[in-house]
Structure 1
């Protein structure tokens, strides 16, 4: 989607706040001993209360209102009977629509005490996302996003999952540009047009390179197996940088 009118930006900000607040409330609700289905139920109730519709459920018939991935699960985890424990890394990905506008956000949260290296990985995963967001500006190369994140990853001895990309969003959950690398690339010659709506969502890892399908047809795992974190915002490109529409408020 390309934003051309103020009311379009306003619509994105409305759904952006809804998904951001839903994710944050879910994260604050996490307690060791609860199941991912119980956590998803909290998210579903919040979305419904705000008049929003789960995007993965409506667009792809995903078996849950939100995606919840724990530890070795790096994305698209199905909410179910898995019990959350202290020391876990829990990724919550919330995307939804309202009044024809879509927004998408995600983050990895620590439950209780985790290993120091995982705490650092989480902090650096968020930094990697922010570094990518700073590259979003009208008329700049799309490849700048992945190249900047890639420099950060190399400098700090991280790897990036290279088949889970950022994407256009706005009038549907996934739209043009359909694959925006969050890793270094030389082949992408596209430029960011003013008003472009996209996600920035690097998957930062301590060794993982690829996302591999699991047995359930949805959940993705790291290959080679390694800790992975993901942080994601939906942003709008302007001449002065990115407007982040998925801030809580």
Structure 2
């Protein structure tokens, strides 16, 4: 989506705030002993109260309101009977629509007691996203996002999952520009323009290179086997600093 009018920006900010607040409420509720279905139900209630609809459910008939991935699951985990335990690494991905506008956000959380390695991985995963966001702007190269994140990941001894990309968003969950690499690539000559809406969502890992399918047609796992974290914002490119749409109120 390219925002050209103030009411479009207002619509994006409204749904961005809703998904951000949903993620915040779910994050605050996370505790050992609850199931991923319990956590998803909290997200469903928040979205329903705000008059928003789950984007993965309405777009892809995903069997949940949000995606919740635990430990070895790195993305698109189906909420269900899995019990969240002490020390787990839990990724929550919330995307939704309202009034024809879509926004997407996510974060990886640590359930205490926190392993030092998880603490570092999460801290650096959030920084990788922030480094990517800093590359968003009018007439800047889309490939610059992945180049900057790649330099950071390499300097810290991490790998990046190279088949889970950022994407355009706004009037649908996934739209042009599709497949925005958050790892270094060659040959992508596309450039951003003022008003372009996109996600920035690197998957930082301690050894994983690719996401592979599991047995349920949804949940993705790292290959080689490793932990991975994801942090995601929906942003708007401008002539100045990017606008982060998915900030909680």
User: TM class, shorter-chain normalised?
Assistant: over 0.9
Q: TM-score, normalised by structure 2?
A: 0.99
1:3 aligns with 2:3: yes
Q: 1:242 & 1:181 partners in 2: Cα distance?
A: 18
Q: 2:12 & 2:187 partners in 1: Cα distance?
A: 30
1:158–1:207 contact (8 Å) kept in structure 2 = yes
Query: CA shift at 1:157, angstroms?
Result: 0.3
1:166 aligns with 2:166: yes
Count residues with an aligned counterpart.
249
Q: 1:70 & 1:188 partners in 2: Cα distance?
A: 33
Q: 1:21 & 1:175 partners in 2: Cα distance?
A: 24
Q: 2:160 & 2:114 partners in 1: Cα distance?
A: 21
Q: Identify the residue that residue 225 of structure 1 maps to in structure 2.
A: 225
Unaligned runs of 5+ in 2: none
Q: 2:113 & 2:227 partners in 1: Cα distance?
A: 16
Unaligned runs of 5+ in 1: none
Q: Identify the residue that residue 43 of structure 2 maps to in structure 1.
A: 43
Per-residue CA distance 1:145-179 (angstroms, 9 max, x = gap): 00000000000000000000000000000000111
Output aligned runs, 1:31-110, within 5 Å.
31-110=31-110
* Paired residue secondary structure (2:242): strand
Consecutive aligned runs of 4 or more in structure 1 exceeding 3 Å deviation: none
Q: Identify the residue that residue 208 of structure 2 maps to in structure 1.
A: 208
Q: Identify the residue that residue 120 of structure 1 maps to in structure 2.
A: 120
1:135–1:241 contact (8 Å) kept in structure 2 = no
CA RMSD, Structure 1 to Structure 2 (Å):
0.4
Query: CA shift at 1:114, angstroms?
Result: 2.1
Q: TM-score, normalised by structure 1?
A: 0.99
Q: Identify the residue that residue 111 of structure 2 maps to in structure 1.
A: 111
Query: CA shift at 1:241, angstroms?
Result: 2.3
Q: Identify the residue that residue 187 of structure 1 maps to in structure 2.
A: 187
Per-residue CA distance 1:28-75 (angstroms, 9 max, x = gap): 001100000010000000000000000000000000000000000000
Q: Identify the residue that residue 248 of structure 1 maps to in structure 2.
A: 248
